[in-house]
Structure 1
Amino acid sequence: MSGGPSGDGLTTRARGEEAQRRRSGRVPSGWLALLAGPMSFGIAGPALVLPDAARDLSLTTAAMTWIVTAFGWAIAVGTPLMAGLQSRRGTRTALAACAALVLLGTVLVVTAPLLPLLVAGSALQGFGTAGLTTIAMSLAASARTMGLVTASLATVGSTAPLAGDLAASVLDWRAALALPVLSVLAVPAVLRRRPDTPLPAARLDLPGAMLLMALVTALVLVPYAWQAAGAVALAAGVALALWVRKRPDGFVPTVVLRSPVFPVAAGAAFLLAVANFGMMYALPPLLAEVAGWTGPQVGVAITWPLLFGGLASYGVIALTARVPFGVLATLFPALAAAGVALAGLVAATALPAGAALGAASLALLVAQGLTSVAAASGQGAFATRAGAAVPAAARPAAMGLFNLAYLLGAAFGPAIATLLVG
């Protein structure tokens, strides 16, 4: 007879170790980065393959951009909605629901023969990846981990157009649309290691969720139809404010809004996203004019400062973990403002000649690098402070609202840049 531990003993011990891992609240940083990063594929991955998709479906490229628009709308709306699901039903349920949305959306974009189904599939991917990203940020237990999560978003975003083009050349243009599904690879590991957290007794605040959804949808449409969308946004905002006063523990918790840190952190993140994503759209025509580069040359050139910003942000967030919040609230916006001012100076100056062409092109790329570092680092640093400033039970809601502010900046930035650059 063996003197070793019995099967039941091993099972009990394994369960005890699993429970201890969950109580510790620690999920390995790499899994959280994989859970969040692929969302950026949905934002930027289709950039270079939409013309091929349009030809294949006998549509215009402008019509195919609805795929990207649907994804952007879904991550903006889905971020607070999925955060609410996590707050009310727990991380396990939210992870399973978000993974199912991503998988279903991917099946549609890979197989759908019609544009409306492709748009629906892209929207489902957006809802799912928005939730997975918010979950990853809510589970980040340190500034270093948060830095890795936000760095993964920035790094994937900087390489997404080239990755999408490569996937399309190896397989098909639909492969570029399927890249967000990579986030699902992290779900089993995060499910096993997720912390156990108490769930609130209150039911889901459906009116609050619907009002916030209406407000976000209107805000996303403001750059395209500012009069009608602005009126709807104002009405929805007033209605939501009145509802929050009536239901302070609802979908938009007042404990988050009343935190002295959260409004500043979310507002700064919004401005940083406006600057960074606006520069991403403003710089290509400026580089083409200043340096005479072709579209592919501009695409490759602008990848490097964006990639630098994403990689550098991990170290910057770790180094600024103990820096006072007021310093950060000044430092990162000032860095972004310096990048915008540098690009504006080059654009406002008469086009140089000869050797100065290289200096002007370099200045524009440096400007993009400054706004990229500021946005990627600021997103992680401000998210860490915003999450730490609220009770643990409100952290998922805080992360959802924070990411919403950042994503709205990502929507407004390109629209503003298009108006300014023409």
Structure 2
Amino acid sequence: MSGTTRTRTGAPAREVPAAWLALLAGPLSFGIAGPSLILPDAARDLGLDLGAVTWIVTAFGWAIAIGTPLMAGLQSHQGVRRALLTCAALVALGAVLVVSVPSLPSLVLGSAAQGLGTAGFTTIAMSLTRSARSMGLVTASLATVGSTAPLIADLAGELLSWQAGLALPALSLLAVPGVLRHRPAGPAPDAPFDPVGAVLLTALVTALVFVPHSWPVAGTAAVAAGGLLALHLRSRRDGFVPASIVRAPVFLLTSGLALLLAATNFGMIYLLPALLAGRAGWTSGQVGAAILWPLLFGGLASYGMIAATAKAPVKAVAGLFPGLAAAGVGLACLSLSPAVLLIAQALTSLAAASGQGAFAARAAAAVPDGARSTAMGQFNLCYLLGAAFGPAIAAALTG
């Protein structure tokens, strides 16, 4: 936390260098994008169809969705060090499972454990940033790793095994000693843990994750869980979702825009390969190589964009990044030229990566210091839900 924050033993906490925080957060993207090219190898070796092994990715996505608020709650109530060590144990256990036991149940469990741990790592990293540049480096690492993850995982699969490709999120463990060395600490909790709020939020998030796959059942469950959670929050203002977060207009605005930008970007990522293959006749290899560059551009350029807009008012960034995303969608609608489509993807990628960092910094500043870790958990949850909704919306539009 800040330089004057003290741990329970009285030792001063020092600001954690942004490079360690970026290394802590970035490998989460390996679990999201990395398996895309190695799942066919996994299906072949396991003797299963491709649909069955996609549960590995589904488990990771579900785990990061529920793990983001849960691990933020753990950090808020038990401190950064304990949350960091818990996440490290989960990631290590998950990596061991996916590498050592080549069976689908073990791979699903291992992927879920890695998802829970890396979700916590990302929330911790973002809550420990103390400047727009640091936040920009953390979010840029997520976007940059995500753009290169399929190729890196495929290379790991060729050199070692596809199981090693599934264990790449464990690279985040390399940052744990560096973060711990700075003795990060958080304030002692002001209120006891709220198990009812945690269960209701977990139920709501789980239902929302499955809405794109089974919307009648999951949608009904989401409405029910959301209503119960709202009633609970009215009686428990200092609970798992504190009233200080819910009542912060800037936090709500930036979280909603982050969801919108993520949905737009990941929807474009889903649509672009089919458009390039159908209109230009490109092979899957050509599409993969071509789409890498706009995604990589978005991730790398976002760091400069976040730094450049660090002192801009909320209204300015609230218009800038959605405007970039809208320009990308507009270009894709106006022309199916491969060059134009790639430019469109670059704009939506830049908007999402930059918006995640810029909006996260403002969301954190809009809540009290004691609620910062919880706020980052809720903010990241919104972004991840957008990443889940984007492809489903794109599929519905093209179906």
Same fold (TM over 0.5): yes
Structure 1 pair 244–300 and aligned structure 2 pair: CA distance change class (3 A): same
2:304 is aligned with 1:304 = no
Question: Whole-Å Cα distance in 2 between the matches of residues 206 and 18 of structure 1?
Answer: 25
Task: Using the TM superposition, give the Cα deviation of residue 68 of structure 1 relative to its aligned residue in structure 2, in angstroms.
Answer: 0.5
Task: Using the TM superposition, give the Cα deviation of residue 197 of structure 1 relative to its aligned residue in structure 2, in angstroms.
Answer: 2.7
Q: Deviations over 1:339-369 (max 9, x none)?
A: 112112225xxxxxxxxxxxx1000000000
Aligned length: 393
Cα pair 2:139 2:353 within 8 Å, conserved: yes
Q: Which has the larger radius of gyration?
A: 1
SS in 2 for 1:261: helix
Question: Whole-Å Cα distance in 1 between the matches of residues 161 and 185 of structure 2?
Answer: 42
Query: What aligned pairs does 1:6-405 form with structure 2 within 5 A after superposition?
Result: 23=12, 25-347=14-336, 360-405=337-382
Q: Any gaps of 5 or more consecutive residues in structure 1?
A: 1-16, 348-359
Cα pair 2:301 2:350 within 8 Å, conserved: yes
Q: Percent identity?
A: 67
Question: Whole-Å Cα distance in 2 between the matches of residues 18 and 120 of structure 1?
Answer: 34
Task: Using the TM superposition, give the Cα deviation of residue 242 of structure 1 relative to its aligned residue in structure 2, in angstroms.
Answer: 0.7
Of 384, 387, 398, which residue of structure 2 is paired with 1:407? 384
Question: Whole-Å Cα distance in 2 between the matches of residues 49 and 136 of structure 1?
Answer: 28
Cα pair 2:7 2:185 within 8 Å, conserved: no
Q: In the alignment, residue 114 of structure 1 is paired with which amino acid?
A: S
Question: Whole-Å Cα distance in 1 between the matches of residues 248 and 265 of structure 2?
Answer: 26
Question: Whole-Å Cα distance in 1 between the matches of residues 355 and 222 of structure 2?
Answer: 27
Cα pair 2:76 2:186 within 8 Å, conserved: no
Question: Whole-Å Cα distance in 2 between the matches of residues 263 and 372 of structure 1?
Answer: 22
Q: CA RMSD in A?
A: 1.5
Question: Whole-Å Cα distance in 1 between the matches of residues 101 and 215 of structure 2?
Answer: 33
Cα pair 2:81 2:184 within 8 Å, conserved: no
SS in 2 for 1:101: helix
Cα pair 1:390 1:398 within 8 Å, conserved: yes
Cα pair 2:147 2:292 within 8 Å, conserved: yes
Name the TM-score, length of structure 2 as normaliser: 0.96
SS in 1 for 2:249: coil
Task: Using the TM superposition, give the Cα deviation of residue 421 of structure 1 relative to its aligned residue in structure 2, in angstroms.
Answer: 2.6
Question: Whole-Å Cα distance in 2 between the matches of residues 96 and 278 of structure 1?
Answer: 35
1:12 maps to: none
Cα pair 2:7 2:184 within 8 Å, conserved: no
Q: Any gaps of 5 or more consecutive residues in structure 2?
A: 1-5
Name the TM-score, length of structure 1 as normaliser: 0.91
Cα pair 1:18 1:193 within 8 Å, conserved: no
Task: Using the TM superposition, give the Cα deviation of residue 111 of structure 1 relative to its aligned residue in structure 2, in angstroms.
Answer: 1.4
Question: Whole-Å Cα distance in 2 between the matches of residues 287 and 373 of structure 1?
Answer: 20
Q: Deviations over 1:196-217 (max 9, x none)?
A: 3321142211100000000000
Q: Which aligned segments of 4 or more residues in structure 1 are displaced greater than 3 angstroms?
A: 21-25
Question: Whole-Å Cα distance in 2 between the matches of residues 252 and 305 of structure 1?
Answer: 37
